[in-house]
Structure 1
Amino acid sequence: MRKLALGLALSLTLAAPAAAETVAIVGGRILTAGPAGEIPQGTVVIRDGKIAAVGANLSPPAGARIIDARGLTVTPGLVAANAHLGAVEVRALGDDVAVSNTAIGAAFDVQYGLDPQSTLIPVARLAGITRAIVTPRAAGGGTGDHMHGDEGEDLTAGGGDDSRSHALFGGQAAVIHLGEGADILMQPKVGMVVPFGGGGARVAGGARGAQIVALKAVFRDVRDYMRNRTAYDRAGLRDLALSKSDLEALIPVIEGRTPIIARVSKLSDIRMVLKFAREERVKLILNGAEEGWMAAAEIAQAGVPVILNPLTDRPENFEMLGATLENAARLHAAGVTVVIEGQGGAHRVREMRYNAGNAAAYGLPYAAALAAVTINPARVFGVADRIGSLEPGKEADVVIWTGDPFEPLSQPTAVFIRGEAQPMTSRQLDLRDRYKDLSGAYPVAYPR
């Protein structure tokens, strides 16, 4: 009966403009991922697309649409880091997360290739994911690029530029929302992808040392360009390795406003990246860091967050001999901000919550595991003032679950993005429903 009431309430919610209504989700176990922590039985009030109130003893506002969440769990929408949602459909047929162009490397910006109609977005949304950080795929391939399962294949820098300096950079990431609509972009230019380790060595000519030398040379070029823009425009400046577009794109990195998303696995490479960032005075995010636990204290001291897949524990190559299922727990214990990513950049990103559950099973505190898929990615990419937790004033990304969100058998019964209830279906489910019973009239174009 309760499920029927919830379904009726949601159908009414979908029929009304979000900005014109107030919704009260009452009686649920609320995991705020914010200062309030867990509220065993409470109320979340949504008004005009924002969270208006959260608490244990709140009376629903007069005229609010009531959703009975007794026996259910309420959380913030999950935030998928290092995703390719909206930029890929079928990997074998191409995507919008990689570029081979001698004039474009750092300037490549995923925001311009986003597809709000991607069939993969509803699938992720049905797993409670409401936002994603869409990252480019860096040149170089292999573990240095941390490719994901069904999407993993080596990419090499293209074009005829012998220096290949453009290939040192994968391009710029963007934050998107997964709600329905024509524009899913939330925040562009939130990070610059750079492959290190084996991937970085490949694009730099085959050696790790060559990559660092090349990066330092590029950063000197950017600083010269910043001081001499006028000379550059009149061809009065020495030859620079990068195009003007790439030079311009790297200015926020040099100024410390845009972080480098460093894709790296090996302990020695991690230490080298930390040193490089310290010397160049740039912000840094480690991505992958399979051997990160071995340098946990150093990473924490540097204030560098880590995006990781906690299921990576096999020594698939010499860059990951120290991989362990306890990586997330050990990094967190040392004081590192941990962000957990999904099993795949697009097609398996829905498994992110399972990854968080596995990290909790291997020592990561439950609250930290929840933070790793909600507020932490929001903080790391500079949007925590808007999303990531259930706090008054934030955009109302809210998920109602049948049980614990890390339990595979639990499923969302309702997903709100910016206060709007989302359809609980996908192309895959529609096709299932269309063909699961052919005992009656066949669908159009399928006569007996």
Structure 2
Amino acid sequence: MNLFKKAALASSIAIGLSLSASAWAENIAIVGAKIHTVSAAGIIYKGTVLIKDGRIQQVIEGTDVPSGYRTIDAEGKVITPGFIGAATSLGLVEVSSSAGTVDAQAEPHAISTVGAALDVQYALNNDSTLIPITRIEGFTSAATGLGGSDQLFLGQGAFITLATTYRPVLKAQAFMKLNVGNSGVDNNGGSRAALWVAINQSFDEAKFAKSYAMDPSQNWLGLTTMADAKALIPVLDGKMPLVVNADRAADIVQVIALKKRHTDLNIILASGVEAWRVADELAKNNIPVILDPESNLPGAFDQIGATLENAARLHKAGVTVVIGMDTHNIRLATQHAGNAVANGLPHSAGIAALTINVAKIFGMDEQIGSLESGKVADLVIWSGDPLEVTQTAEQVFIQGEQIDMTSRQTKLRDRYLKRNALKPVGYTRP
């Protein structure tokens, strides 16, 4: 094994394990496209991406290709880094209303009284039909976590690749989820007067647990279980991001105050319908925002200030903006980013909100999120501007591998477009 491979594998054991053998086997040159590097190199208007050993070897201007590469002509096309799902339940849910097991929902269990100990890495199923549907729309990785729980915290989420592998986890225990909005309040005492006391108590217990012998022989009489307290320690130390759902400005102010009480917290605000109202404070406290920029009408009394200009106003104030919806339909985020651009967000910021900004907030930016030498070759060839709803992902590469651009949806489409009219629909096969 050469030194380049050793260095690449050492930088991320999880990514190295998930790379398939075929990804290492072929060197590829994608030639002639407009390339959004989402790096200091900016946009290259006619360039070449060289892929070697599953990683980006080089991004260059012009169309000269060294020997030993299979060439893909992308003249007139657009290349971006693979888009990243910032708030999803991918791999945890197939049909959310199923009468069977839905791993995106968690019920009370003795191991956890506040939900912090819950860990989705054990629940992931990469055979979910939602993953190829998302993949062929230009998404190559995602942050995934519980979508619902009656407990205070929604457990620890994971960062996953959307490659075809039974080991999708790139980063386990990648973030902790907490909901301080209306639905979170409803599940935890019915009033913010109860919810915030419980949050503060949980972090106080985690702080105490750092110097306490956390083993079954010890008495532990806290609000949290030992497992919860242990899980909250890396959050308290800032090693695990805390993704906090909040919409109304008053709730967001409380989130900012939480960070001031525990200065090491690495807080990511999610949803943030009224975040623009406290944009300067969010920027000052270095709190990024994952938002759905299409929220323009109040869905509840904590969303009165909804506006289509939310993303643009946050960006102007210096807040790191990420486009994402807490849904398994994360592929719609591309269209939503386009609408944010139509309402004042710069185009380059719209692309960044789906790529490098997501990678940064989850600590994955040394591996993915931009097209730079040494990074994992997650990228997409688009028919045109990816933020235009009429354009499509023509070819997706994950970890340097050219993926099959089919999904359950495309197979159903082809089945009924080409069916044998002499046979009943149920007996027709592609």
> TM-score, length-normalised on structure 1?
0.86
Give the alignment partner of residue 309 of structure 2, picking from 308, 326, 330. 326
SS of structure 2 residue aligned to 1:92: coil
Over aligned residue pairs, what C-alpha RMSD do you find? 1.9
* Structure 2: gaps (5+ residues): 1-20
Aligned match for 2:171, one of 187, 193, 205: 187
Cα pair distance change 1:374/1:350, threshold 3 Å? same
The residue matched to 1:367 in structure 2 has which SS?
helix
Q: Secondary structure at the match of 1:325?
A: coil
The alpha carbon displacement at 1:441 in A equals 6.9
Letter in 2 for 1:265: D
CA contact (8 A) 1:75 1:399 kept: yes
Whether 1:279 aligns to 2:261 is yes
Contact 1:138 1:193 in 2 (8 A): no
Q: Distance in 1 between matches of 2:419 and 2:59?
A: 47
Write the distance in 1 (CA, Å) between the matches of 2:258 and 2:312.
26
The amino acid across from 2:317 in the alignment is: A
Q: Is the 8 A contact 2:36 2:43 kept in 1?
A: yes
Aligned to 2:380: 399
Deviations 1:353-396 (A, max 9, x none): 10010000000000000000000000000000000011010000
- CA shift, 1:197, in A, is 2.7
Count residues in correspondence: 403
2:181 is aligned to 197
- Within the alignment, does 1:413 sit opposite 2:394 as a pair? yes
The answer to whether structure 1 residue 225 and structure 2 residue 209 are counterparts is: yes
Map 1:277-426 onto structure 2 (within 5 A): 277-281=259-263, 282-342=265-325, 345-346=327-328, 348-426=329-407
Residues 159-181 of structure 1 deviation map (CA, whole Å, 9 limit, x = unaligned): xxxxxxxx111001111111112
Q: 1:35 aligns with which of 37, 40, 59?
A: 40
Rounded to whole Å, the distance in 1 between the matches of 2:34 and 2:184 is 46
Q: Residues 288-330 of structure 1: CA distance to partner in whole angstroms, max 9, x if unpaired? A: 1100000000000000000000001101221000010000000
Among candidates 97, 103, 115, match of residue 96 of structure 1: 103
Instruction: Give runs of aligned pairs for residues 209-288 of structure 1, distance below 5 A.
Output: 209-229=193-213, 233-235=216-218, 237=219, 239-281=221-263, 282-288=265-271
Q: Distance in 1 between matches of 2:321 and 2:387?
A: 17
Following superposition, the deviation at residue 223 of structure 1 comes to 2.1
8 Å CA contact 1:138, 1:169 repeated in 2 = no
Shift of residue 408, structure 1, vs aligned partner: 1.3
Shift of 1:188: 1.2
Amino acid at match of 2:82: G
Letter in 1 for 2:108: N
Task: Write the deviation string for residues 61-99 of structure 1: whole angstroms up to 9, x where unpaired.
Answer: 202100000011111100011111111101111421221
Q: Where does residue 192 of structure 2 map in the other structure?
A: 208
2:51 to 42, 46, 58: 46
Distance in 2 separating the partners of 1:391 and 1:261: 28
Q: 1 CA distance for matches of 2:228 and 2:243?
A: 16
**Distance in 2 between the 1:445 and 1:372 partners?**
43
Supply the distance in 2 between the matched residues of 1:420 and 1:331 (Cα, whole angstroms).
Answer: 36
| Distance (whole Å) between structure 2 residues aligned to residue 203 and residue 90 of structure 1 | 23
SS at match of 1:239: coil
CA distance in 2, matches of 1:435, 1:354: 27
Amino acid of the structure 2 residue aligned with 1:428 = Q
Specify the code of the residue in structure 1 equivalent to 2:31: V
- Amino acid in the other structure paired with 2:305: G
Measured in 2, the distance between the counterparts of 1:201 and 1:362 equals: 32
Change beyond 3 A, Cα 1:238–1:51? closer
Whether contact under 8 Å (1:138, 1:171) holds in the other structure is no
How far the C-alpha of 1:210 sits from its partner, in A, is 1.6
Amino acid of the structure 1 residue aligned with 2:226: K
Distance 1:441 1:181 in 2: 39
Residue 439 to residue 58, structure 1, CA distance change in 2 (3 Å): closer
Q: Which residue of 1 aligns with 2:77?
A: 72
Identify unmatched segments of 5+ residues in structure 1. 1-15, 140-156, 158-166
- 1:27 is paired with a residue whose SS is strand
Letter in 2 for 1:168: L
Q: Secondary structure at the match of 1:170?
A: strand
Q: Report the Cα distance in structure 1 between the residues aligned to 2:109 and 2:194, rounded to whole angstroms.
A: 19
The aligned amino acid for 1:382 is G
Matched-pair contact (CA < 8 Å) for 2:378–2:399? yes
Counterpart amino acid of residue 300 in structure 1: A
Partner of 1:6: none
Residues 142-190 of structure 1: per-residue CA shift (max 9 Å, x gap): xxxxxxxxxxxxxxx2xxxxxxxxx111001111111112211111111
How far 1:444 sits from its partner (Å)?
Answer: 11
Task: Indicate the percent of aligned positions where both proteins have the same amino acid.
Answer: 42
Q: Within 5 A, what are the aligned runs for 1:78-227?
A: 78-93=83-98, 94-103=101-110, 104=112, 105-139=115-149, 157=150, 167-227=151-211
